[in-house]
Amino acid sequence: MTRLALLRYVTILDFPLVELFIYFALYSFLGWVMETCYCSIKERRLVPRGFLYGPVCPIYGGGVVLMLLFFTPLKGNLLLFYAVSVVVMTTWEYLVAWVLETTTHVKYWDYSNYKFNIQGRVCLWVALVWGLLSYVVIFWIQPQVDRLYDLIPYQVHFVLAAVILALFLVDSVMTIHHLALVSRLVTSVTTLGEELQVQMALAKAELGDKVSEQVDALQDKYREQIAGLEKYSRRFRSRYADLKAAKGFKVNHEHIVEAAKRAKEAIRSAGRFA
């Protein structure tokens, strides 16, 4: 038996690993098509979704893999199927949002304006839609995909999977590098913004020319960082209308004002007792 033939028996819950990967790639592409069409119609311009360079949205590919692995055995009980779909897929969306926000400091979608949302990462109406999408995929789309997949010789499956994997890896490396730049700039701009606001508040208290010079220097540096962030985040902002800095990486004006007040009092006290 050849090595390729042996790979057919590498499975996850009775699904061949190669088959799952091809399904992941296919539904990542179909998810990209669905999101791109929806957002393009909504914004009346072409909006190619996804944070990778290629035409894929991995959240959909990963979601469908979860559907195939865990929802297929529930096809005989539609109520249970729907309930489990809503819970599992909503948890998946929340996890993806949390990972992206934690690693890149950027919020790619925000449901905060909708009722019954959790930290803007998931909300009720989208959770209910996930249940419907799961039904459509498992009962209508996947049977047709299975039939087409079975028509392809298994040797071709491995070649196809290898080519797709190589493209994914190249795309992922390029995207991670780009995201790292954006993440670093978001953190830097936030820090500079906080420091700049404090220094400007101190300057307004007429605490000397030195503070004014610091403000001018910080403003120049801040403008440079903003220009860099504008450049490197343009692609992501064109794809995600709600793109914003994640919580913890936004300048909180009230906190800055309070910090400036404390700094001014400390400087004045030091002057009185010098």
pLDDT digits (tens, 9 = 90+) for 109-119: 889 889 899 99
The pLDDT score that the predictor gives to residue 27 is: 95
* Distance between CA atoms of residues 267 and 261, nearest Å: 10
Task: Check pLDDT > 80 for residue 149.
Answer: yes
The pLDDT score that the predictor gives to residue 39 is: 84
Average pLDDT over residues 43-48: 83
The pLDDT score that the predictor gives to residue 111 is: 92
pTM of the model as a whole: 0.71
Strands 106-107 vs 244-245: parallel, antiparallel or unpaired: antiparallel
Is residue 250 within 8 A of residue 190, CB to CB? The reply is yes
* Percentage with pLDDT > 70 across the chain: 60
Is residue 236 within 8 A of residue 51, CB to CB? The reply is yes
Average pLDDT, the chain: 76
* Element spanning 107, H or E: strand 106-107
Confidence of residue 274 (pLDDT cuts 50, 70, 90): very low
The pLDDT score that the predictor gives to residue 180 is: 66
Q: Residue 118: phi, psi to the nearest 5?
A: -120, 105
Task: Check pLDDT > 70 for residue 30.
Answer: yes
* Distance between CA atoms of residues 210 and 216, nearest Å: 10
More confident residue, 107 or 269: 107
**Could you tell me which residues come within 8 angstroms of residue 180 by beta carbon, excluding any fewer than 6 positions away?**
none
Q: Measure the CA angle with vertex 253, ends 247 and 258; round to 5°.
A: 115
pLDDT digits (tens, 9 = 90+) for 215-271: 555 555 556 655 555 555 555 555 555 556 565 545 444 544 554 455 555 545 544
Average pLDDT over residues 161-188: 77
Q: Residue 108: phi, psi to the nearest 5?
A: -85, -25
How crowded is the C-beta side of 10, counted as CA atoms within 13 Å?
11
The pLDDT score that the predictor gives to residue 236 is: 57
The pLDDT score that the predictor gives to residue 77 is: 94
Residue 64's closest CA among 126, 141, 122? 141
Average pLDDT over residues 139-145: 94
Task: Check pLDDT > 80 for residue 181.
Answer: no
**Could you tell me which residues come within 8 angstroms of residue 255 by beta carbon, excluding any fewer than 6 positions away?**
none
How many beta carbons lie within 10 A of that of residue 274, not counting itself? 5
The pLDDT score that the predictor gives to residue 256 is: 46
* Element spanning 118, H or E: strand 117-118
Sign of CA dihedral 95, 255, 249, 109: positive
